[in-house]
Structure 1
Amino acid sequence: MFLNKKFIASLATAAALTGVGFVATTQATPQTFIQEAKADSWINNYIADNNIKPVSITYTEGTFNKWIPYENGVGKPEGVVVHETATPGATAADEVSYFNNNWPTIQTYVHAFVDDTQILNIHSADYGVWGAGPTANAKYIQVELCEVSTTDQFARSVSNDAYYVASKLIQYGLPVEYGKTVVSHDQTSKMYGETNHTDPTGYFAKWNYGMDQFVALVNTYYNQMKSGTNAGGNNTGNNGGVDNGAVGSVLVNNPSSYATPLVAFQNDGSTKKSNRGLANNSGWYTDQQKTYNGHTYYRVSTNEWVMDSYATYTAK
């Protein structure tokens, strides 16, 4: 299952990218679509005509235990690499199960898998993974699109995939730039010469689709999310009191323990203790603040926050 496709992609990655740490994210709102993409696609038209909406992103922790900073630092990817799995009929859940069980052997892992019904994010996009060769791994978030068998399934799967890409570009303050912030594995193979994969070009071609049309769809969702129009999935939960512009850093310390505690905010606005913590006297990038029960919380991961009692905040 996908060994041939993926094994070569990650050779020497462990040596090329090392790092330890935790997670930090960004969620700024930036700029524009620079390269014109071909929006007149029968698949994109099918999505619009049938009012197909992307599903929500499901965040679940995978088994990949490498926390590898990007070349520009933790929480600073430069874009997204679009893959496809080359395993017809396997669902996103199937692929997640396979990768979680086999990544130490196949030496490959990605951030997310997408099919026609699910978007499963299994590793923090604040850190690199092993999917497209050392150079691309150090730069990009990576998402795998599952192969489906009907037109409707394909339309729904690329809708979900484009939504995931758009949401990550917005999260990390990146514009939509075809060939720069949105790239295929085929393109990274040509750019860096470290892999020989051509996905998703061949799979897209089976549906008379192309990366230019896919990027047009990404741009549609990107603009909808930036303007506050509902693009589909709802991944925010209860954000009461969130300041999205609070970009900076926090120095954390818990005098009563070896680690600084973290909490997650639940949909009802209450907090739940995380099973992970931050090393004392370590600094973390933060992009959001939330007020709860008289305390300010600083976001250092997708939904993990440190309380002001343990943090010294410095604005960027």
Structure 2
Amino acid sequence: MMFNKKLIASAVTSVALAGMGFVTTQVAPQAATQEVHADAWVNDYISKNNIKPVGIENREGTFNQWFGYENGVGKPEGVLIHETATPNATAENEVSYFNNHWKKLSTYVHAFIDGNKIINIKNTNYGVWGAGYTANQKYIQVELCNVNTADQFARSISNDAYYTAAKLIQYNLPFVPNKTVVTHKQAASWWHDTNHTDPDGYLARWGYDMNQFNDLVGKYYNNLKDHGTTDDQNGQTTQPSTPDPNKHVGRVNVNNPDSFASPLVSFNGDTMKDVVNRGLGNNTPWYTDQQKQHDGHTYYRVSTNEWVSDQYATFTAE
């Protein structure tokens, strides 16, 4: 079985809401720099080797339950960290397995992360079935994949910390360890809906723990809020999912009166190209951080290089 720990989450009473389509954005894997020993201080290794998190890929998953959090749609209280307990299965492997088997497993999460990819498969405005009824009503949930080299572990931790920080910022949440960033183990001890203890054991196998992870999340959170990258202010590399210039942070609500979905385009310099196999579901909100002018229209970025026109989108600044 690809996913051997996940017969866990108690099903929630869901609110029947209209689904929305996700976009797909491919991100090239990063090349490894050098191998490290498992007892190395991972955060220091990430810094010394100039490891950068990859961008977030948003995909349409198969989980067809659409329920808001206990405070409402688009109002999570934080991010809950899992690990998969499946040795050597990549984020792609886990995404495929979840999408094919979630009904049998009665479980689903928002995202999977390994050393090369961050794949978000459920709109984080809505809850999932990952950690029992109570936690499901509160948290965005992300799975850290088990990797087999220390370098890949460091990269996966960088990606996981970035995803966590970015989601806190997206929903205007403070970074508060043990409150807005929690583990499945903590949720299980607080509410007893499950008996799981991840990710602590997996982190410990690499000489790592949640205190160190929270240090990295806090660094990324502050840097992203201060200047839009995960680097310290004198860093050279811009985080790919939050580039700056022409940064306009907010939300767009999309609607296409002539179809069930609003079309997307991509840009290569000044050349615009239609995205032919994806769209955004009507009457759905999307986070955006950039705007571009083209042929008399404003385009809002909703993924790494996918944009929706003001013909279909209404922008609200944040």
- From 241, 246, 257, give the equivalent of 1:236: 241
Q: How many angstroms apart in 2 are the aligned matches of 1:158 and 1:134?
A: 27
> What is the deviation of 1:297?
4.9
1:314 positional shift:
6.9
1:261 is aligned to 262
Q: Which has the higher contact order (CA 8 A, sep 6+)?
A: 1
User: 2:113 touches 2:156 (CA, 8 Å); kept in 1?
Assistant: yes
Q: Partner of 2:33 in structure 1? A: none
What's the TM-score once normalised by structure 2's chain length? 0.77
Q: In structure 2, give the amino acid aligned to 1:19.
A: L
Q: Deviations over 1:187-224 (max 9, x none)?
A: 11122221111100111122232111111111111122
Give the root-mean-square deviation of aligned CA atoms.
3.3
Residue 182 of structure 1 deviates from its aligned partner by 0.6
Indicate yes or no: 2:105 matched with 1:106.
yes
* 8 Å CA contact retained: 2:133, 2:193: yes
CA shift at 1:184, angstroms?
0.5
CA contact (8 A) 2:46 2:158 kept: yes
Task: Output one character per residue of 1:32-55: Cα deviation in whole Å (capped at 9) or x when no partner.
Answer: xxxxxxxxx822222223332222
8 Å CA contact retained: 1:299, 1:306:
yes
| Partner residue, 1:19 | 17
In the alignment, what sits opposite 1:29? none
What are the within-5 Å matches in structure 2 for residues 75-94 of structure 1?
A: 75-94=74-93
- For residue 206 of structure 1, what is the aligned residue in structure 2? 205
Amino acid at match of 2:8: I
Higher helix fraction (1 or 2): 1
Deviation (angstroms), 1:304: 7.0
Q: Give percent identity, aligned residues only.
A: 52
Moved more, 79-88 or 110-119: 110-119
- Residue number among 296, 307, 313 corresponding to 1:294 in the alignment: 296
1:1-316 correspondence runs (5 A): 1=1, 5-9=5-9, 11-13=10-12, 15-16=13-14, 18-22=16-20, 42-228=41-227, 229-231=229-231, 234-236=239-241, 241-244=246-249, 246=250, 250=253, 252=255, 254=257, 257=258, 259=260, 261-266=262-267, 268=269, 270=272, 272-273=274-275, 275-276=278-279, 278-279=281-282, 282=283, 284=285, 290=291, 291-297=293-299, 307-310=309-312
Q: Take 1:132 and 1:285, find their aligned partners in 2: how far apart are those partners?
A: 26
Q: Matched residues in 1 for 2:114 and 2:314: separation? A: 41
Task: Identify unmatched segments of 5+ residues in structure 2.
Answer: 23-39, 232-236
Supply the distance in 2 between the matched residues of 1:253 and 1:154 (Cα, whole angstroms): 43
* Structure 1 portions without partners, runs of 5+: 25-40
Contact 1:265 1:304 in 2 (8 A): yes
Q: Return closer, same or farther for 1:292/1:70 CA change in 2, 3 Å cut-off.
A: farther
Aligned length: 292
Q: CA deviation at 1:12?
A: 1.9
Distance verdict in 2 for CA 1:237–1:285, change over 3 Å: closer
TM-score by length of 1: 0.77
Cα distance in structure 1, aligned partners of 2:99 and 2:254? 32
AA partner of residue 148 (structure 2): S
Q: In structure 2, do the counterparts of structure 1 residues 116 and 133 end up closer, same or farther at CA, with 3 Å as the change threshold?
A: same
Cα deviations by residue, 1:241-276 (Å, 9 ceiling, x for unpaired): 5521x45x758462xx36463424446463635744
Structure 1 contact 175–181 (Cα < 8 Å) conserved: yes
The CA deviation at 1:234 is 3.8
Taking structure 1 as reference, are residues 312 and 62 closer, same or farther at Cα in structure 2, changes over 3 Å only?
A: closer
Please say if residues 23 and 300 of structure 1, whose CA atoms lie closer than 8 Å, have aligned partners that are also in contact: no
